[in-house]
Structure 1
């Protein structure tokens, strides 16, 4: 009824159509994906992950079978040198050294200047 064939569009035609609509798809070489909910973690080991960018909006597709783990009350530390305010520790150290103040004072100045290094140093001098 809809034309004979393999039940769908040719993958290369589909990709060409998506490009014309401004949609890019990239395969990511992910080793692990963790989805945390309030009660559990879904851990995908060696999943197939695709990132689709449609006019600046990114969507991720994860294919695999997750291992389900109950959540303990603790959240593991993410690999980051930033504090809760999002200001990198390196910036705090730099401002503290340049202005000759404590790291706490440097962090306060960076918070007050929305992370602007020059403005924070000027504020402290």
Structure 2
């Protein structure tokens, strides 16, 4: 665990333990992926720490992410295409307009 400004990491660990907070470094992490409706953050070989306080787990990921725009997955395109009975191209286009929301895309593509 990394110390606070001028604080010995061992002292910090003891203080946190007294407060009922446990901290654990997760070893050998190869990658962490965070997906949002519009982007994907890929951390390769990050430093990951898990903190448990009051029954809640919090994860800290340290590293430089590769950020990409996330498009619709092939499975999502196939699902929308089959459910709305439209081409894959139309399904992909509408999925992107709906920010990957499958239900909204299907509803938009259904005849009125």
**TM-score range relative to shorter protein:** 0.5 to 0.7
- Name 1:11's counterpart in structure 2: 9
For residues 68 and 10 of structure 1, what CA distance do their matches in structure 2 show?
35
For the aligned residue pairs, the C-alpha RMSD in angstroms reads: 1.6
Does residue 1:43 correspond to 2:42, yes or no? yes
Where structure 2 has 5 or more consecutive residues not aligned to the other structure, the ranges are 76-112
- Report the structure number with the largest CA radius of gyration: 1
TM value normalised by structure 1: 0.52
Question: 2 CA distance for matches of 1:21 and 1:67?
Answer: 36
What secondary structure sits across from 1:18 in the alignment? helix
Partner of residue 21, structure 2: 23
Counterpart of 1:33 in structure 2 is 32
1:16 to partner: Cα distance: 0.4
Higher strand share: 2
Matched residue, 2:110? none
Judging changes above 3 Å, is the alpha-carbon distance between structure 1 residues 64 and 36 closer, same or farther for their aligned structure 2 residues? same
Post-superposition offset of 1:75: 7.2
Under a length normalisation based on structure 2, what TM-score does the superposition of the two structures give?
A: 0.58
- Residues matched between the structures, number: 70
Query: What stretches of structure 1 move > 4 A for 4+ residues in a row?
Result: none
Q: What runs of 5+ residues in structure 1 fail to find an aligned partner?
A: 1-6, 77-125
